[in-house]
Amino acid sequence: MPDLGPVLERRVTVLGSTGSIGVSTLSVITHAREVYGAEVLPVEALTANGNVDKLIEQAKAIRPRLAVINDESKYEALKAGLAGTGIETGAGRKAVIDAAGRPSDVVMVAIMGAAALEPALRAIARDATVALANKECIVAAGPVFLKALAKSKAKVVPVDSEHNAVFQCLCAADPEEIEKVTLTASGGPFRTWTLEQMRAATPAQAVAHPNWSMGAKISVDSATMMNKGLELIEAHFLFAMPASKLGAVIHPQSIVHALVTYQDGTTLAHLSSPDMRTPIVHALAWPRRISSPSRKLDLAAAGTLTFEAPDLERFRSLKIALGCLDRGCMSPTILNAANEVAVDCFLHEKIGFLDIAAVVEATLDECPGAGTEPETVDEVLDTDRQAREIARAVCGRRQG
């Protein structure tokens, strides 16, 4: 039996515990406690935005030292719900960021959107291992994020399924030996839809992902294929890969998650059932492997694996994101902020599905700073704020 002791003693913080990735992370921890003992993978902190009832329920079950709610109006409810448990409580944006600064070995960054940037940077600053599910923070602030990483002893283990797959296929190769990194894309719920059909797509149709059960924002991103655009930018920063070595291929079954092609002609691929508990448990235990409740792959049951090229005309968001990958500087910051606003407006039925790409494109045209390389987090946050204001105004124009 290998000695898993040091891995199982790791103290874990889960930022965004009430979301899709957060819930899967807690299910991985619960499974490990059932298999290896009730004391394994102790939890330092759980954080949520506004879902106080779920946070209370999770805290009672998983026993963190601290539970934090971002929405300060829910603080009294959190304190009342956890009274007598001995679990500390906190509320507000600063408390969420401070939670990332508390002593733990691994911080799962599973907050949605660029709101994860400052908590992630706080975890990096104290040399934690960052299990990075959130992609928006590295898209919005790639150069600043990498500078912070270089200054610290922190390590990032990607949790986004494609990037976790690439991480595993890289095998400590020299970058020169790599010819291509290919991310797969399911194509989302509208893979075979015409533009006319997409024009009338509803939020309920857009969040109905064919293979993955995820939060609403990333599900819409999969439907527009902006998700793959964000992921190519994420891969550029995480793996120091130039745009020329990055690509995406449609694979509707979501079983192959990424492929790395070497100059000798070898292509290594990572396969697993579409179940986020697999990359989550990999990131928590890396570089060891532990038991997980994930669905294991049965290739005979899966049957056929197919691949096709993405259609950049129907999936305009992907084309726009590829432009930002090439352009660099703060164009990804603006792209991400505008997309977050546009997706939110779409989910609230203020704009149509095809308007999402139009809003992002108009914001990129109007927002200053796209050609400036960010030096500091404040510059990123300023541009992010400006882009959101512009995107909201563009949404308003399209609405009315």
Ligand X SMILES: CC(=O)[C@@H](O)[C@H](O)COP(=O)(O)O
Ligand Y SMILES: NC(=O)C1=CN([C@@H]2O[C@H](COP(=O)(O)OP(=O)(O)OC[C@H]3O[C@@H](n4cnc5c(N)ncnc54)[C@H](OP(=O)(O)O)[C@@H]3O)[C@@H](O)[C@H]2O)C=CC1
For binding to ligand Y (CB under 6 A), which residues are involved? 16-22, 48-51, 70, 96, 110-112, 115, 133-136, 160-161, 212, 214-215, 217-218, 276
The length of the chain is: 400
Residue nearest to ligand Y (CB): 19
Residue 25 contact among ligand Y, Mn ion, ligand X, none, beta carbon within 5 to 8 Å by kind: none
Structure tokens at 261: 């092609």
**Which residue's CB is nearer to ligand X, number 67 or number 206?**
206
Residue 336 counted as an annotated binding residue: no
Residue 20 counted as an annotated binding residue: yes
What is the C-alpha separation between 134 and 62, in angstroms, rounded? 22
User: At closest approach, how far in Å is the CB of 231 from ligand Y?
Assistant: 9
User: At closest approach, how far in Å is the CB of 264 from ligand X?
Assistant: 28
3-state secondary structure of 336: helix
Residue 363 contact among Mn ion, ligand X, ligand Y, none, beta carbon within 5 to 8 Å by kind: none
Residue 222 contact among Mn ion, ligand X, ligand Y, none, beta carbon within 5 to 8 Å by kind: ligand X
Residue 340 counted as an annotated binding residue: no
Give the count of residues interacting with Mn ion (CB under 5 A). Answer: 3
User: At closest approach, how far in Å is the CB of 230 from ligand X?
Assistant: 9
φ, ψ at 322 (rounded to 5°): -65, -35
- The sign one gets for the Cα dihedral 262, 266, 267, 268 is negative
Residue 217 counted as an annotated binding residue: no
Contacts (CB under 5 A) with Mn ion, residues 16-75: none
Structure tokens at 80: 């009342």
Give the residues lining the site for ligand X (CB under 6 A): 160-162, 185-186, 188, 212, 218, 222, 227-228, 276
Tell me: cis bond preceding 287? Omega within 30 of 0 counts.
yes
What is the C-alpha separation between 139 and 123, in angstroms, rounded? 18
**Which residue's CB is nearer to Mn ion, number 52 or number 159?**
159
Structure tokens at 137: 């923070």
22: Cβ–Cβ under 8 A, 6 or more apart, which residues? Answer: 14, 15, 16, 46, 48, 108, 110
365: Cβ–Cβ under 8 A, 6 or more apart, which residues? Answer: none
**Which residue's CB is nearer to ligand X, number 44 or number 190?**
190
Contact between 351 and 395 (Cβ < 8 Å) = yes
Residue 160 counted as an annotated binding residue: yes
Residue 211 counted as an annotated binding residue: no
User: At closest approach, how far in Å is the CB of 303 from ligand X?
Assistant: 19
Residue 24 counted as an annotated binding residue: no
Residue 44 contact among ligand X, ligand Y, Mn ion, none, beta carbon within 5 to 8 Å by kind: none
Rg of the chain over Cα atoms, rounded to whole angstroms, equals 20
Binding status of residue 160 toward Mn ion by CB under 5 A = yes
Pairing verdict, β 106-109 and 129-132? parallel
Contact between 207 and 198 (Cβ < 8 Å) = no
Other CB atoms within a 10 A radius of the CB of residue 7 amount to 20
Q: Which residues here bind Mn ion, judged by CB under 5 A? A: 160-162
Q: Which residues carry a binding-site annotation?
A: 18-21, 51, 134-136, 160-162, 186, 209, 215, 222, 227-228, 231
Q: Which residues carry a binding-site annotation for Mn(2+)?
A: 160, 162, 231
Q: Which residues carry a binding-site annotation for NADPH?
A: 18-21, 51, 134, 136, 215
